[in-house]
Structure 1
Amino acid sequence: MFHARDAQASPPVIRREDYAPPAYWIDTVDLSFDLDPTKTRVLNRMRVRRNAEQPPQPLRLDGDELNLARVLVNGQGTSFKMDGDQLVLDGLPDEFDLEIFTTCNPEKNTKLMGLYLSQDTFFTQCEAEGFRRITYFLDRPDVMASFSVTLRADRKRFPVLLSNGNLVEQGVLEDGRHFAKWVDPHRKPCYLFAIVAGCLAAREQRIVTESGSEHLLQIYVRPGDLDKTEHAMQSLMHSVAWDEARFGLKLDLERFMVVATSDFNMGAMENKGLNIFNTKYVLASPATATDVDFDGIESVIGHEYFHNWTGNRVTCRDWFQLSLKEGLTVFRDQEFSMDLARTASARAVKRIEDVRVLRTVQFPEDAGPMAHPVRPDQYAEINNFYTVTVYEKGAEVVRMYQTLLGREGFAKGLALYFERHDGQAVTCDDFAQAMSDANPGSTLALHLDQFKRWYSQAGTPRVTAVGQYDAEGQRYTLTLSQTCPATPGQAEKQPFVIPVIAGLVAPGQGDLAVSLHGGEPATAHTLVLTEPSQQFVFERVTAEPVPSLLRGFSAPVVLNQDLSDAELLALLAQDSDPFNAWEAGQRLLMRQLLAAVTGAGDLAAPLQADAVAALRSTLRRSDLDAAFKALVLTLPTESYLAEQLADVDPQRVHAVREAARRQLARDLAADWAWAFDEHEDNGSYRPDPVSSGRRSLAGLALGMLVELARETGDSVWPGKAYQRTKDAGNMTDRYAATAALVNAGHALAQPALTRFHDLFADDALVIDKWFALQAAAPDRGGDALGRVEALLRHPDFNARNPNRARSLIFSFTGNPAAFHRTDGAGYTFWREQLLAIDAFNPQVAARLARALDRWKKLAEPYRSAAHGELQKVAAHPSLSKDVREIVEKALAA
């Protein structure tokens, strides 16, 4: 039975310090489903025992929007009561069989949590607290049970019946129905439970692993999509092989299944042996998916498979430990993609892309009202803490273990972690202890308690570097200091353990082999900053150097370093670390763009001649990969520039960045033409790093040339772009050409968009791109909002589909100059869409609510307008707790 709560009240806060083990354990679960779109019957038989280490108390089972029909204890009826959404049973024996019979309505489940129907197929999503929408249960991750599941459904309508584990029995029933019984050999928390039932086709691959075991891999999709699953299968095979080769972690099931659905709140879900994916991260063909899509599939397939060990075999004791599985598994999928990249340059491109996400999304979160530690201390709605801090910053914390211990030491720590905790629900502290104990005497072991501050302290540390060169003594003294700004609930911060990989570069010579504190000479050293301020002395420094610090982005910090333009140019040209070479170029560009934003630079031509010359030189270098060149030649984003300012005028930031783009288009016109001609033809499509890098650079060049043509009136390059929208041999090139016309506001943009839609009208993922491209286009003449409002009325738009809502509404709110209008109309649009989505899918709405959580950073008149709309949302009488938590934190900041 659904119990409405007082929507105006602030949701109750759950605190990590209040954790207590469950009063009962559930050892076995036998579930029977009679699947029906409007009335699914669920019979739940459990073997339950009292936790002897807890004081006697009633059994409280979680439920949500369930119709309760029967409760039996040891086969007999029993008394019970309802306390809100919880089923409460008292006077129970120490061990007993509990039977609960409920019904639910999957067809009306618009939240897409629990059991729901999508395009006549049943799916489940149980993480974090969705299992309670299927049956009454102890819905918490530290309750691990053995599950057996029997599914019954109409045989013609739902021919495929899937659940976790191994298929042990199947057959035909009366009245045109059939059944399948699945048994999972591994104990698991209920958040990893899954079922799927529908009309699906499967790509199958039998494999023999390095250890000699045989397994069946299956990818289930709608029949018409089967031809788009080859890349996903290849990615899954690579994931299985990589995890065994790199960490000795073997596939532990007879079969491993992936199922794709277009109605999904997130990217994918690692249910034990039955991963359910958003179609975005499964379906790909050269004609319909870009290089970014192919990379995303490889990464997410890997991520969810790697959860089989880091999340499934060892899981979280409680949701505060979420980064124990997510941060660790993000690190593993990043390493997987980097290892597949093979070359140093391609690995650097992957690292740069990951760091850009961290800086443009996670750093702002750390500086805003939603700032929280990697291991949060409290929450009102756990779904709001599936954040970039938990995932991406959590991955950086894991990467620092590897930086401090080395690859071998990290692998030893991971092996000990599994040896100790396989089959258990544990904490971040358990992981840290295993890493330390496996490497006694290491820097990590010596500073373990201090290192764990990365889990408990929010905020992005600032590291300030000051160097002094002693030419006579051939010494270079580097002073590193650290601070961390206050965050909500944490005014004072203690020093972190910060590994800083450092090298010294001599202009004209490159890397210097130097010794640190009298040690052996090397071109790179790992400095470990543990105090508020420390000095590091390099010796045998034969020339005045430029320090290359934080190589490979060795810690998630902001580095304050007073380097001149000439020193940054030297690093861009000569640093052996490709990440820091890219970083030097970005710092130089950002410095000059910010000067124009604040009035100290030239608004019409923000970039100085030496910076433009350096970019030209980089573009023309034959020793650099095309993908790396494209990253160096891409200006810092508007959102990243805005984060460097105390008061942000989004319109001015946009104007300066657009002026810089036009300047680069104009000053490098001949170079862009060369780059396009040199890289446009790659033969038959291959999603490898070299080919995708060439396409990336060609696409960037074409965009610049069409932008220049908008000013000059030239028709050649727009004509080439339009022709490419018609005859491109792959989606990457077609999309880049269409984007070039749309972003330039060229007259050919509309016919290109029309043709694009006509070609792919039946492919939902491609139409998502069509919506997103228009919503993210520059706001020329203030027409962006009107364009988006018109697209809301397009027959293909459906806000109830999360992918479609993200493609249009989220893309618009992520378009700074279009969203942040001086008249506040963008914020009004945000409020209207937020409330509309919140009425049927609070999880998606909560993500949208984050668009204004940094409203205080805006200059006037944006700040007041945003504040007003936030207040209107907060006053809404039926706001979900998901959205309320975010809006209240934003207003209280």
Structure 2
Amino acid sequence: MDIARTPANPDGNPEMADAAHAPSEPSTIRREDYRPFAWIVPETRLEFDLGLESTRVTARLTVARNPKADPSPVIRLNGDGLTADSVLVDGEPSSAWAMDGDNLLLTLPGEAHEIAIATEIDPSSNSQLMGLYASNGMLCTQCEAEGFRRITFFPDRPDVLSTYTVRMRGAKAQFPVLLCNGNRVATGEDGEAHWAEWHDPWPKPSYLFALVAGDLVARTDRFATMSGRDVELNVYVRDGDLDRTEHAMESLKRSMKWDEEVFGREYDLDLFNIVAVSDFNMGAMENKGLNVFNTKYVLADPDTATDGDFDGIEGVIGHEYFHNWSGNRITCRDWFQLSLKEGFTVLRDQLFSADMGSEPVKRIEDVRVLRSVQFPEDSGPLAHPIRPDSYREINNFYTSTVYNKGAEVIRMMRTMAGEERFRKGTDLYFDRHDGEAATCEDFVTAIEDGAGLDLTQFRLWYAQAGTPKVSVSLDHQGDKATLRLKQVVPPTPGQPDKQPMPIPLKLALFDRESGTHAGEELVVLDTAEAAFAFDGFASKPVLSINRTFSAPVTIERSVEREELVFLAARDDDPFARYEAMQELTTGHLVAAATGELGETEREASVSDIAEALRAVLTDAALDDLMRGELMLLPGQTYIAEQMLVADPGRIHAEREALKAELGKQLRSELHALYERAEQVPYSLDLAARGARKVKTQVLVYAAASDPAKAVELAAHQYDRADNMTDRQGALMVLAGIDSAERTGRLLDFYNRYQGNALVIDKWFALQAMSLHPQALQHVKALGDHADFTLKNPNRVRSLYMAFAGNPHAFHAANGEGYRMVADLILALDPINPQTAARFVPPLGRWRRIEPVRAALMRAELERIAAAPKLSRDTHEQVSRSLG
């Protein structure tokens, strides 16, 4: 499953599932309490009589005692808001059942039985968008993590695997398309109704069940697998959206081919369906053979989708397809193992996207997400290991730590093993555990055995939370350079003391005169402190460390600005070059925001940054995609993370001041770059994408240094744009400047795309993320706009998540931004608690903010906590944030 992604910075930058919970005080589920389920369910047959307001579900489960579990005559069938209309055992009505909260407990006397249970549900009233729900006249499901129990009574836990046969019946006029997991095996008509029967031969857990019924059209294609299987591919959308599905289909075919070539994984059904749904909590869901997607990650054409949207679609399509093996064929034993499927699959989609586009730019983008979202999570009250030991509400563990840090941990194993040996490890993992519900330990052991590594100590990465800090110093004496490293893993909630972890660091030592190095090396810091000696240096070299971001750590070192300028201009590792630029500007902004920079030092620092940036702007060997990355200033959230206590207002002011000064000093170089890039015609090739990227970055610098010129350029770019990337980039800049052009272009954008929900989402987000001094008031007004609704997660995120990610507006000194987000959480929680809970973490970072704002943030959390009938999702996030 792909979690919904946070909007970009405006500058471009037991029976563990069986515990009963009271909403106000959720019980704690612990990994150590895991026990295999007492019964296996080899076969599940489901019958659906479909209706928007009333759907009748009959479930027939073949069950048998589990020889690997403690014996019990009672089978616990999870439910959530369900009522059993009838319960039959072996074809006869049973009275040997009782309700335990939402769950149905049934006593079974023998070794094997067939259970039949009928329920009736109302999809139209399901605003949580979990289970079976209605979306604009269509029926669809979302079952991960615990949504299947909202459809029928079942042992709704990931280690209960079953083969599914499903018969769906519904009105032909209302539901002309009937889809489910697996292969369609039969169809028929029944008067004004019709039916379809589906069979999935591969055992799966209930969270991978999927059903869609509605009035849809499909783009159809075919794919021949490496063994010659002919697979029918369909991308289903609403009528009118079909012409925006070509990129999704091509991304799917590329994903299938790539997984065969790189991981040796072949698709295993005769049919692969994707359905785009406008009401969806997540990005997409990997249900076996029937992937359900948020429309955001399916629909694209040049007029309505940015380059980032095209990349996002390709990445998410790949992610969900790759789950067919890393998540479906091998699934999780329990939800504590979530990173087993998500961390591994994120790494796979990152490698795929890197191969499809620019590898260094993709790496930088992934690290930027990690630092802006996961690092703050790791240093705050919600910190947890990638394999947590306990949880209260599983929906709250679909986090950047599980996904993005989980991917980085597996990437480190790949770095230490090398690509060839890592492939041997993954092949062994797939061979050993195909058809099983596995654990993170199973995966690490397979890599260990296949790659010939000892990963005993490395397992600490799965158990310890927090971002390691690595102190670095380089000494030089005679012809020897000595690298001294020291690691500290900071305390996190529940883990005050940490052990050293293996940290693989790629490095190179540059000769200052020639600007070259003798080769990249890999060192592994696996103790609290270590020293590494390098011979053959007549003078002190320049250190380039953590190249390609080989470990998800924070590097702490005292380094001269001249060395950073050297690396920013000459490092041959693109990520290290980017890192030098970031380190150079971050050091300046932290010192400036904390009052540690005198005027003389400030001028010298800005001059050094300008020199490094000038080298970037004028380097003919650089492609524009990479140039655009090097032009980006570090985001305000990342800068704040470098301080013990941050003043968001001061950070914003200093960042804008630096941007303005760089814009002035480099005006001629920036405008020359813009004029060159403006001549590149639209296409999706890397050169054209790079040209569009640097154009927007030039506008960003102009907006800070010469707003009148920025308005002129941005309005011109908007008016002549033949693609959404240029149009949105121009409007982003205009949205932050108070001008008539701002008002006119925002109105034009709305009128041009009114009725296109995904593009109107952009319209909301651009205003919520803008640098306009009245951005907070604009968001308040947009909350009352006729096109705004709390019932659509995309629309909620487009306005309020974008706002929460806009530090200068969210951190308004009077606390109005905090109050707005708290009001949203309280209004949204009864409608969609899963989405509401995702707005808590921005308030939860109050400990790292200066005292006045911190008190205001904490007060809003306390107000939320005091609300009656708070959902489990939101309650857990708030209580942990308050500590």
- TM-score, normalised to structure 2, is 0.96
Q: Which residue number corresponds to residue 330 of structure 1?
A: 346
Q: Which residue number corresponds to residue 518 of structure 1?
A: none
Unaligned runs of 5+ in 2: 1-17
Q: Give, in whole Å, the separation in 2 of the partners of 1:57 and 1:369.
A: 42
1:768 matched to 2:761: yes
Answer yes or no: is the 8 Å Cα contact 2:181–2:289 preserved in 1: yes
1:18 matched to 2:15: no
1:744 paired residue among 721, 724, 737: 737
1:422 paired residue among 416, 428, 434: 434
1:662 paired residue among 660, 663, 667: 660
Q: Give, in whole Å, the separation in 2 of the partners of 1:591 and 1:708.
A: 21
2:625 paired residue among 617, 624, 627: 627
Note the alpha carbon deviations across 1:445-468, whole angstroms, 9 max, x for none: 2xx120000000011111111211
Superposed displacement of residue 139, structure 1: 0.3
Q: What secondary structure sits across from 1:748 in the alignment?
A: helix
Q: Give, in whole Å, the separation in 2 of the partners of 1:16 and 1:64.
A: 23
Note the alpha carbon deviations across 1:180-221, whole angstroms, 9 max, x for none: 000001010010000000000100111223332211111000
2:489 paired residue among 484, 495, 517: 484
Spell out the pairing of 1:7-156 with structure 2 (5 A cutoff).
9-52=24-67, 53-79=69-95, 80-156=97-173
Note the alpha carbon deviations across 1:807-832, whole angstroms, 9 max, x for none: 00111111111111221111111111
Q: Which residue number corresponds to residue 457 of structure 1?
A: 464
Q: Give, in whole Å, the separation in 2 of the partners of 1:738 and 1:163.
A: 41
Q: Give, in whole Å, the separation in 2 of the partners of 1:82 and 1:601.
A: 67
Q: What secondary structure sits across from 1:353 in the alignment?
A: helix
Answer yes or no: is the 8 Å Cα contact 2:20–2:27 preserved in 1: no
Letter in 1 for 2:204: K
Identity percentage over the alignment? 48
Superposed displacement of residue 575, structure 1: 1.3
Q: What secondary structure sits across from 2:127 in the alignment?
A: coil
Q: Give, in whole Å, the separation in 1 of the partners of 2:604 and 2:233.
A: 54
Superposed displacement of residue 646, structure 1: 1.4
Superposed displacement of residue 239, structure 1: 0.1
Answer yes or no: is the 8 Å Cα contact 1:606–1:659 preserved in 2: no
Q: Which residue number corresponds to residue 252 of structure 2?
A: 236
Q: Which residue number corresponds to residue 517 of structure 1?
A: none
Superposed displacement of residue 488, structure 1: 0.6
Letter in 2 for 1:832: D
Q: Give, in whole Å, the separation in 2 of the partners of 1:252 and 1:831.
A: 47
Spell out the pairing of 1:553-564 with structure 2 (5 A cutoff).
553-564=549-560
Q: Give, in whole Å, the separation in 1 of the partners of 2:22 and 2:771.
A: 38
Answer yes or no: is the 8 Å Cα contact 1:42–1:103 preserved in 2: yes
Spell out the pairing of 1:792-831 with structure 2 (5 A cutoff).
792-831=783-822
Letter in 2 for 1:881: R
The count of aligned residue pairs is: 862
Q: Give, in whole Å, the separation in 2 of the partners of 1:590 and 1:815.
A: 18
Q: Give, in whole Å, the separation in 1 of the partners of 2:598 and 2:715.
A: 34
Q: Which residue number corresponds to residue 636 of structure 1?
A: 634
Q: Give, in whole Å, the separation in 2 of the partners of 1:51 and 1:81.
A: 22
Q: Which residue number corresponds to residue 577 of structure 1?
A: 573
Answer yes or no: is the 8 Å Cα contact 2:735–2:772 preserved in 1: no
Q: What secondary structure sits across from 1:32 in the alignment?
A: strand
1:393 paired residue among 389, 392, 405: 405
2:856 paired residue among 865, 869, 875: 865
Note the alpha carbon deviations across 1:590-624, whole angstroms, 9 max, x for none: 11111110112268979521211220121111000
1:785 matched to 2:781: no
Spell out the pairing of 1:451-600 with structure 2 (5 A cutoff).
451-471=458-478, 474-513=479-518, 523-600=519-596
Superposed displacement of residue 665, structure 1: 1.7
Q: What secondary structure sits across from 2:803 in the alignment?
A: helix
Unaligned runs of 5+ in 1: 514-522
Answer yes or no: is the 8 Å Cα contact 1:216–1:254 preserved in 2: yes
1:609 matched to 2:607: yes
Superposed displacement of residue 750, structure 1: 0.7
Q: Give, in whole Å, the separation in 2 of the partners of 1:122 and 1:860.
A: 49
- TM-score, normalised to structure 1, is 0.95
1:207 matched to 2:223: yes
Q: What secondary structure sits across from 2:168 in the alignment?
A: strand
Q: Give, in whole Å, the separation in 1 of the partners of 2:161 and 2:194.
A: 29
Note the alpha carbon deviations across 1:857-889, whole angstroms, 9 max, x for none: 111211111111111110101100100001000
Go from structure 1 to structure 2 and tell me whether the alpha carbon gap of 1:658 and 1:689 turns closer, same or farther (over 3 Å shift). Answer: same
Answer yes or no: is the 8 Å Cα contact 1:507–1:574 preserved in 2: no
Answer yes or no: is the 8 Å Cα contact 1:673–1:705 preserved in 2: no
Q: What secondary structure sits across from 1:552 in the alignment?
A: helix
Letter in 2 for 1:207: F
Q: Give, in whole Å, the separation in 1 of the partners of 2:819 and 2:755.
A: 32
Answer yes or no: is the 8 Å Cα contact 1:607–1:660 preserved in 2: no
Answer yes or no: is the 8 Å Cα contact 1:207–1:216 preserved in 2: yes
Letter in 1 for 2:849: L
Superposed displacement of residue 541, structure 1: 2.9
Letter in 2 for 1:719: E
* RMSD of Structure 2 on Structure 1 (CA): 1.6
Answer yes or no: is the 8 Å Cα contact 1:302–1:333 preserved in 2: yes
Answer yes or no: is the 8 Å Cα contact 1:605–1:659 preserved in 2: no
Q: What secondary structure sits across from 1:26 in the alignment?
A: strand
Q: Give, in whole Å, the separation in 2 of the partners of 1:607 and 1:360.
A: 24
Note the alpha carbon deviations across 1:52-108, whole angstroms, 9 max, x for none: 331324111100122320000001111211110100112432100000000100000
Answer yes or no: is the 8 Å Cα contact 2:144–2:208 preserved in 1: yes
Answer yes or no: is the 8 Å Cα contact 1:703–1:736 preserved in 2: no
Q: 4+ residue stretches of structure 1 with deviation over 4 A?
A: 3-8, 602-607
Spell out the pairing of 1:155-554 with structure 2 (5 A cutoff).
155-174=172-191, 176-341=192-357, 346-440=358-452, 444-445=453-454, 448-471=455-478, 474-513=479-518, 523-554=519-550
Relative contact order (C-alpha < 8 Å, sep 6+): which is higher? 2
Answer yes or no: is the 8 Å Cα contact 2:21–2:27 preserved in 1: no
Q: Give, in whole Å, the separation in 2 of the partners of 1:805 and 1:29.
A: 37
Letter in 1 for 2:861: L
Answer yes or no: is the 8 Å Cα contact 2:818–2:857 preserved in 1: yes
Superposed displacement of residue 726, structure 1: 2.4
Q: Give, in whole Å, the separation in 2 of the partners of 1:605 and 1:878.
A: 56
Letter in 2 for 1:18: D
Q: Give, in whole Å, the separation in 1 of the partners of 2:151 and 2:263.
A: 36
Superposed displacement of residue 576, structure 1: 1.3
Q: Give, in whole Å, the separation in 2 of the partners of 1:606 and 1:732.
A: 36
Letter in 2 for 1:561: R
Answer yes or no: is the 8 Å Cα contact 2:582–2:634 preserved in 1: yes
Q: Give, in whole Å, the separation in 2 of the partners of 1:211 and 1:75.
A: 43
Superposed displacement of residue 738, structure 1: 1.0
1:722 matched to 2:738: no
Q: What secondary structure sits across from 1:628 in the alignment?
A: helix
Note the alpha carbon deviations across 1:474-518, whole angstroms, 9 max, x for none: 2211111111011111111111011111111112322322xxxxx
Letter in 1 for 2:448: S
Note the alpha carbon deviations across 1:836-873, whole angstroms, 9 max, x for none: 00011000001011221111111121111111111111
Q: What secondary structure sits across from 1:843 in the alignment?
A: helix
Q: Give, in whole Å, the separation in 2 of the partners of 1:153 and 1:147.
A: 19
Stretch moving more, 115-124 or 211-220:
211-220
Q: What secondary structure sits across from 2:549 in the alignment?
A: coil
Go from structure 1 to structure 2 and tell me whether the alpha carbon gap of 1:746 and 1:752 turns closer, same or farther (over 3 Å shift). Answer: same
2:701 paired residue among 693, 701, 704: 704
Q: What secondary structure sits across from 2:178 in the alignment?
A: strand
Q: Give, in whole Å, the separation in 2 of the partners of 1:739 and 1:829.
A: 23
Q: Give, in whole Å, the separation in 1 of the partners of 2:624 and 2:21.
A: 57
Q: Give, in whole Å, the separation in 1 of the partners of 2:749 and 2:430.
A: 50
Q: Give, in whole Å, the separation in 2 of the partners of 1:292 and 1:379.
A: 34
Letter in 2 for 1:462: K
